Structure 1
Amino acid sequence: MNFFIYTALLFIFSFIVCNYLTPKIRTLMLSKNLAAEPDNRSSHEVPTPNLGGIAFFVVLMLSFYFIASTEYFGVDVVKDVYDPSNIIISLLPGLTILFIVGLKDDILVIAPLSKLMAQTLAAVLFVYHYGKSINTLYGFMGIEDLNPILAGAIAVFILVAVINALNLIDGIDGLAASVSIIMFAAFGMAFYVINHIFLFSVSVVMIGTLMAYLRFNLSSTQKIFMGDTGSMILGFMLGVMAISFLALDPKDIARLPIRGENLPIVTGAILIIPFFDTVRVFLVRIVKKKNPFKPDRSHIHHIIIDKFKISHRRASFVLGVSNFLVIILISFLAVTTSNWLLLTLFICLLILLSLFFFIINKSSWFLKVKVRNMKKQKAAERRRSGA
């Protein structure tokens, strides 16, 4: 079978299955009164089903059979870079744990600490069994080889961080899915170049699944959310992509156009929107002496919507395009730019983004203070005139 046909069939399969399952899940949830009720942070005004992530899990489980059986379908792949049994077995425990925990959290709501423990367990099980590890940073910031224990800890941290980052940006219609499509496409292209067929295939499956999901998530009549079930599965799979990308062998890096020491920066560029938003939100809440895990409207997508008065679709489009442009810019510079210079440029970019949202927040704060003072002044004048 031609590899292009194989890729197209994977995409079509994942799209069709998700497109079939999602409305079924939505109808079942509405019939059982399990829809998410709107609250003070919600943008939806009517109860909306929030278990779209079930379709993600089912599509992934079914796709593993076809991906692992490529040689039986006559797909021409390079055997030494294709090890489906090891990777799939490494993924199954973590995906199952996150699916069960996400399902319970979407229906009953569980404590943040319990959810974090489940995420950590899923990450540890994957890292422990996975055949690859981040043994070296190839000279990033002058760092070469890593201690195996430290490498494992870094991998677990990355997985848990990406899971939570995706969970946090899933606050408006289309954002988590559209940004994830861009990130899976970036990782997928890299794995295609180095001929890592399994991770490339998973990227194709996730893109097809998310495109089908977006059709309903952006609908005004058939709306459904992915919920924690979906966002944690997305975060886990993107974390796996990031770890695998950082754990490439020297021969694989030689096939990529970018310099090996710039690999961590390129990974950061791919994940920039969820990571930037998560770090920024946590720092803002800590500075304001608030619980960093308590939900509010301080996320960048909320700021964009509230400040510029644009729709969810437009905000998601702006952030998705921004993520894409950053990936292109950093990847292009990573080809020839030295590690320290690229790192400096990347940090400057993050500072500029932080200043942008700081200025927006400050201007909004000053406006609120001005309006409040004007109301107080008018109230005082009314009291004086009444006296």
Structure 2
Amino acid sequence: MYLALLAFGTAFFITYFSIPAIINLSLVKKLYDMPDDRKRHSARIGSLGGIAIFSGFIFAFILFTNQLYYPQLNSLLAASLLLFAVGIKDDLYPLTPFKKFGGQLAAAIIVIIQGDIRIQSFYGLFDIHDLDYYTSIALSIPLFLLLINSFNFIDGINGLAGSIGVVVISTFAWFFYLMGETLFLIMCLAYIGALLAFLRYNFGNARIFMGDSGSMVLGFIITVIAIFFVQKSVYYEPNIFFAISSAVFGFAVLIIPIFDTLRVIFIRVFILKRSPFAADRNHIHHALLDIGMSQVQATLTLVTVNGFFIALAMLLHETVVPKFQLLIYLILAFGLSQIPFIIKQRQKKKAGRI
């Protein structure tokens, strides 16, 4: 446990004290995220916060873990570096969606095939157990791509991606602590430390954004953590966690980024007949802003909702059949996501009567 706490402190320290230099560099070199009609900020703000987050995390993680006992983590580090490089390139000189997707796919393939970090079983969910190798790969690649882009998509208002990341990783960290999985606890606490330091400069009146180099790597690392969580939960007593429920629990923990991304992709592809990567204002956080919330209020609302789903999952995982849990979470997520749009319609009707 003390190694995990040291990793937390080290990552926090490196990230916290490197960000001012990155902010100054962004100002001097004019490396700004320019305002447009989708963004609420009016100032020129740098989007290289991912450099500080990644540097703090990777230094602390390598320093306090022994790679020799987990050789698959070498592939994780290689894939993370590749995705980080793609993100930096996109932050400095925007890439086409196709090129960025190619980088994401390459990182996913490295960690899945070379690192063998993949979905290996459904553990009885939908009466599906062990997956054959190729089916496992075929399901794991979309999962990585979904979560990488999910955190990239929700990084649209100050503090949201970082705050959701802290909530999600903290939840998995608690279970790794209960399981005695020191290495994965170190991984989690190192990333939490880096994110909390970053949020000091990003929450509220942001002075820096995490950019694609931050959001894509965040989604990538969370995917790895979630897969490890599901796999490791199999080997522990049911009073810690039921293996059959672990995948559903992981879905509940990640409900905000996953549901928002699937919802937006559906709207873009099937309703608007556009590319799933076409930028718009159809995200739930945009809907909250449109009904009058500030960025801080919208972020805190979504973090609270995410926390509600996590608490609900903890209550239901030992009492409700997993497939019914999944149905409950989907129905609740759909219902809650409609509230800001209903409020917006009522505001329009009320304004029309005046």
TM-score range, shorter chain: over 0.9
* Pair 1:337-2:334 in alignment: no
5 Å-filtered alignment, 1:328-367, equals 328-360=311-343, 362-363=345-346
Q: Quickly say closer, same or farther: Cα 1:351–1:336, change in 2 above 3 A.
A: same
Q: Offset at 1:304? A: 0.5
Q: Quickly say closer, same or farther: Cα 1:84–1:46, change in 2 above 3 A.
A: farther
* Pair 1:9-2:6 in alignment: yes
1:234 to 204, 211, 218: 218
2:230 to 246, 249, 261: 246
**Corresponding residue number in structure 2 for 1:46:** 43
Q: Which runs of 5+ in 2 are unaligned?
A: none
* Pair 1:261-2:244 in alignment: yes
Q: Distance in 2 between matches of 1:154 and 1:100?
A: 25
**Corresponding residue number in structure 2 for 1:79:** none
**Corresponding residue number in structure 2 for 1:214:** 199
**Corresponding residue number in structure 1 for 2:173:** 188
2:207 to 223, 238, 260: 223
Q: Distance in 2 between matches of 1:27 and 1:316?
A: 26
2:230 touches 2:243 (CA, 8 Å); kept in 1?
A: no
* Pair 1:314-2:297 in alignment: yes
Q: Quickly say closer, same or farther: Cα 1:153–1:219, change in 2 above 3 A.
A: same
**Corresponding residue number in structure 1 for 2:281:** 297
Q: Distance in 2 between matches of 1:154 and 1:247?
A: 15
Q: Distance in 2 between matches of 1:311 and 1:243?
A: 34
Quick one: which amino acid aligns to residue 306 of structure 1?
A: D
**Corresponding residue number in structure 2 for 1:170:** 155
Q: Given the two structures, how large is their TM-score scaled by the length of structure 1?
A: 0.85
Report Cα offsets for 1:315-363 as digits up to 9, x if no partner: 1111111101101101220022222332332232133234435534554
2:309 touches 2:329 (CA, 8 Å); kept in 1?
A: no
Q: Distance in 2 between matches of 1:134 and 1:48?
A: 39
**Corresponding residue number in structure 2 for 1:138:** 123
2:265 touches 2:276 (CA, 8 Å); kept in 1?
A: yes
Q: Distance in 2 between matches of 1:333 and 1:102?
A: 38
Q: Distance in 2 between matches of 1:9 and 1:100?
A: 27
Q: Distance in 2 between matches of 1:350 and 1:274?
A: 11
Where 2:46 maps in the other structure, the secondary structure is: coil
Q: How many residues align?
A: 353
Compute the RMSD of aligned alpha carbons. 2.1
Could you tell which deviates more after superposition, 238-247 or 5-14?
5-14
Q: Given the two structures, how large is their TM-score scaled by the length of structure 2?
A: 0.93
Q: Distance in 1 between matches of 2:258 and 2:337?
A: 12
Could you tell which deviates more after superposition, 101-110 or 277-286?
277-286
Could you tell which deviates more after superposition, 60-69 or 166-175?
60-69
Q: Quickly say closer, same or farther: Cα 1:269–1:303, change in 2 above 3 A.
A: same
* Pair 1:22-2:7 in alignment: no
Report Cα offsets for 1:180-215 as digits up to 9, x if no partner: 000000111122222221111111011111111011
Q: Distance in 1 between matches of 2:333 and 2:37?
A: 30
1:52 touches 1:230 (CA, 8 Å); kept in 2?
A: yes
2:233 touches 2:242 (CA, 8 Å); kept in 1?
A: no
Q: Distance in 2 between matches of 1:59 and 1:192?
A: 22
Quick one: which amino acid aligns to residue 243 of structure 2?
A: G
Q: Distance in 2 between matches of 1:314 and 1:367?
A: 23
Where 1:137 maps in the other structure, the secondary structure is: coil
1:148 to 123, 129, 133: 133
Q: Distance in 1 between matches of 2:170 and 2:87?
A: 25
Q: Offset at 1:306? A: 1.2
Q: Distance in 1 between matches of 2:43 and 2:52?
A: 22
Q: Offset at 1:157? A: 1.4
Identity %: 32
1:193 touches 1:256 (CA, 8 Å); kept in 2?
A: no
5 Å-filtered alignment, 1:10-159, equals 10-69=7-66, 84-159=69-144
Q: Which runs of 5+ in 1 are unaligned?
A: 70-81, 375-387
Q: Distance in 1 between matches of 2:14 and 2:238?
A: 34
